[in-house]
Amino acid sequence: MIEVRDLHVFIGENRVLQGVSFGVREKETVAVVGANGVGKTTLIRTLMGLLKPAQGVVSLNGTDIGPLAPHQVVQLGVACVPEGRRVFKDLTVKENLEMGAYRKEARARMAKSMEWVTAMFPVLRQRWNQRAGTLSGGEQQMLAIGRALMARPNILLIDELSLGLAPLVVKEIFEQLREIRRRMTVLLVEQNVEMTLKNSDRAYVMETGRIVREGPSAELLHDPKIREAYLGL
């Protein structure tokens, strides 16, 4: 569904992505893992149309989406859980979820989507009329995921799912990711390498703007070099 070929992206005069190529098949969960600052968020921002490639092609189901604006990418069935959650802090939980149902298809199924999201994250129903800015970090992350799911996407992009969260909260959210993976294609960008490799089908390892390793997640999880470099084992 997603194909990226020889992608080069600059931020100012800095070339952050340097010839990145990878693919994601339908109903597959693919991870891009690596340390902080290697270009993972830049990759997500480029896929969403927030940054424009200097070189290379980003295609969705064969259509070049590189020139498209973010709202056009969303209309094609792509949703994003951004780094840092970025909920609308002055809006309630309910209003944040409603904001996620941006697409025409999503608006028509809003009530059903609400039921699914709150069944997955019951705490959101408990906080229904509470302002999002007063939620804990974990609750805000659940809300950010729920808001993205309200768009009824075909592809879900998740940027740094575990960032700044307590281990127990991270475990809970990754457990819910299994349910999401059964329903849609997922691209997960994350620096928690062990948890991510345990919850994905294939993975790419990124270093300084380049893909340096790729393969089935289970194989990379047991690769001695990966274990030493990223897991401290």
Question: pLDDT by residue (tens digit) across 65-74?
Answer: 999 999 999 9
Same domain, 67 and 94: no
**What pLDDT does 43 receive?**
96
Query: Within a domain: residue 42?
Result: yes
Is the confidence at residue 228, as pLDDT, over 90?
Answer: no
What average pLDDT does the segment 86-97 reach? 96
Closest CA to 189 of 167, 205, 168, 178: 205
Tokens read off for 48: 């969403």
Same domain, residue pair 134 and 189: no
Residue 99 pLDDT exceeds 80: yes
Min mean pLDDT across 90-94, 130-134, 195-199, 225-229 is at 225-229
Residue 212 lies in a domain: yes
Mean pLDDT of 108-137: 95
Q: What are phi and psi of 205, to 5 degrees?
A: -105, 125
User: Distance (Å, rounded) from C-alpha 50 to C-alpha 45?
Assistant: 5
Whether residue 167 lies inside any domain: the answer is no
Q: Do 191 and 18 contact (CB within 8 A), yes or no?
A: no
Q: Enumerate residues 6+ apart whose C-beta is below 8 A from 33.
A: 189, 190, 191, 193, 196, 197, 203, 204, 205, 206, 230
User: How high is the pLDDT of residue 233?
Assistant: 53
Per the structure, the complete domain to which residue 89 belongs is given by 83-153
Instruction: State the average pLDDT over residues 43-63.
Output: 95
Residues 138 and 207 in one domain: no
CATH number at residue 190: 3.40.50.300
| High-pLDDT (> 90) share of the chain, % | 83
Residues 208, 226 within the same domain: yes
What does the pLDDT read at residue 185? 97
Sign of the torsion angle spanned by Cα atoms 212, 42, 2, 115: positive
Percent of the chain at pLDDT > 70 equals: 99
Contact yes or no for 100/88 (Cβ under 8 A): no
Asked whether residue 1 carries a pLDDT value surpassing 80, the answer given is yes
Average pLDDT of the chain, as a whole number: 93
Output the pTM of the full model.
0.93
Grade residue 21 by pLDDT with cuts at 50, 70 and 90. very high
Same domain flag for 7 and 63: yes
pLDDT score, position 163: 87
Q: How many domains does the chain have?
A: 2
Domain boundary among 113, 133, 153: 153
In the prediction, which pLDDT does 158 show? 96
